[in-house]
Amino acid sequence: MSSDGMVLIDALKWEIDQLPERYIGYHKALLDTLVDVVALERENAMVRINIVQKVRDKTESLAKLVETKASEA
């Protein structure tokens, strides 16, 4: 990953760490999802993909995970 990419990831990580931990592993799940979305955006910039659907899939998956884990707590 480029140095710009690492700066972005570090900034996202810092912001995520400021959020309340809804369940153990929440911050990691959120960061992983955002990294995936950034990767999709970069892919979309090179070759047009159906980014809207792919981002929707990622966010819906995260929402289901958060809902499941939060209800377990």
Q: Quick check: 58 and 33 in contact, CB under 8 A?
A: yes
- State which residues form the domain around 44: 3-72
- Judge whether residue 70 has pLDDT over 70: yes
8-53 pLDDT per residue, tens: 999 999 999 999 999 999 999 999 999 999 999 989 888 888 899 9
Whole-angstrom distance, CA of residue 20 vs CA of residue 27: 9
Q: What mean pLDDT do residues 60-72 have?
A: 91
Q: Is 22 helix (H, G, I), strand (E, B) or coil?
A: coil
- Judge whether residue 1 has pLDDT over 80: no
- pLDDT at position 72, please? 81
Q: 10 Å Cβ neighbour count for 44?
A: 15
Tokens (6 digits) for 17: 């760490």
Whole-angstrom distance, CA of residue 62 vs CA of residue 32: 10
Q: What is the DSSP letter of 24?
A: T
- pLDDT at position 73, please? 65
Structural domain count of the chain: 1
